[in-house]
Chains A and B, each alone.
Chain A
Amino acid sequence: MSDEHEYADPSQDVEDSAPGDEPEAAGDLGKAVRGYVLGLALAVALTAASFWTVSTHLIYAPGVPVAVLVLAIAQMGIHLAFFLHITTSPDNTNNVLALAFGVLICCLVVFGSLWIMANLDHNMMPMNEMLKMQR
């Protein structure tokens, strides 16, 4: 733990700095820790809720996957907000727009695949009929 490796003043740490580069704000440490702890607590609560959802018989069985999906989306939101720090600040506008585009593509890929494959499956001749035709 040699002190010679540590920069005493972060504002002097300028090698390869770009125009407009500012040192990251050190901010309030206690507040930052509280943010992470809150994120962890919410994520643990949502994880426990999803595991509870599949183990209990209180929920109408066909509704369980929907409940798990909703809890998963909520937990992803918690991770994005508290751990990845995707916020509404001007610094984050580009990140939010990229995220929105990514979510759009993911939805197209997943729901498009499910839709097309279910449709093909529905229209395909059953396998035993196909075998009969080949004789």
Chain B
Amino acid sequence: MTSVVLQANEEPERAQHGAGQGFSAKGHGEGGPADRRIIVGYGFWVFLLSDVIMFASLFAAFAVLSTATAGGPSGRELFDLRTVAVETGCLLASSFVCGMASLAVQQRSQKWTQIALFFTGLLGLIFILLEIHEFARLVARGAGPTRSAFLSSFFTLVGCHGLHVTAGLLWLGTMMAQFWAKGFRQSIRYRFLCFSLFWHALDIIWVAIFSLVYLVGVST
């Protein structure tokens, strides 16, 4: 109901504000300050890059320790590429459906936004469940994080990505609730812009994990 009140109070005179109409930033400060949408995206992008740098240090630790198996099992014996392929497919499809959700938000379609976000979350959930299943299988056969430095760094790196996806799922749920309860307000669209950047960035990190941890681990 609040959104109805807000709609009534809105002023239509926004064309007087800084930027040239219909254009966003032209560079070199022309046409006034950049869109707030651009600035929000940039700020979150800087956060994401710092997150990627944290993952880079975990990757560095894994790369250094990948041969330190302490007489225990190596990646070649442990990794099941079929599970990894399904996980990869889930996350990639989830990222694609999240892109569809952002188009639905642009079109202001509540129905398609909710449907696309639901499937984004469902695919993410399948990914997480597969990963938990894989971790449980490794721990059950005595290849838990305490077995060797290689496995400690493996669980830290892949588990950290899994925690990011879990946090993303909680964020996704709150975004669905906010779109449902409050409609396509500008502030909520900015939050969703940040969420979609986060979700796509997690997929990029997964590309590095499945390539450099699983595929290279199996081939060497």
Contacts and interface: CB of A to CB of B under 8 A. Distances in A.
Nearest to A61: B219
B72 to A, nearest CB: 17
Nearest to B211: A72
A4 interface: yes
A22 B22 contact: yes
Contacts of B107: 26, 29
Contacts of A32: 103, 106
A59 B193 CA distance: 42
A32 B22 CA distance: 19
A131 interface: no
B200 interface: yes
Nearest to B11: A14
Interface string B17-57: 11101111111000111111111011001100110110011
Contacts of B19: 20-22
Contacts of B163: none
Contact of A84 (B32, B92, B197, B212): B197
22 contacts: A12-B7, A12-B10, A20-B34, A21-B35, A26-B107, A39-B96, A51-B85, A64-B219, A68-B211, A68-B216, A68-B219, A71-B211, A72-B207, A90-B27, A91-B24, A91-B38, A93-B27, A98-B49, A102-B49, A102-B52, A113-B57, A113-B61
Interface of B: 1, 3-4, 6-7, 10-12, 14, 17-19, 21-27, 31-39, 41-42, 45-46, 49-50, 52-53, 56-57, 59-61, 63-64, 81, 85, 88-89, 92-93, 95-96, 99-100, 103, 106-108, 110-111, 180-187, 189, 197, 200-201, 203-204, 207-208, 210-212, 215-216, 218-220
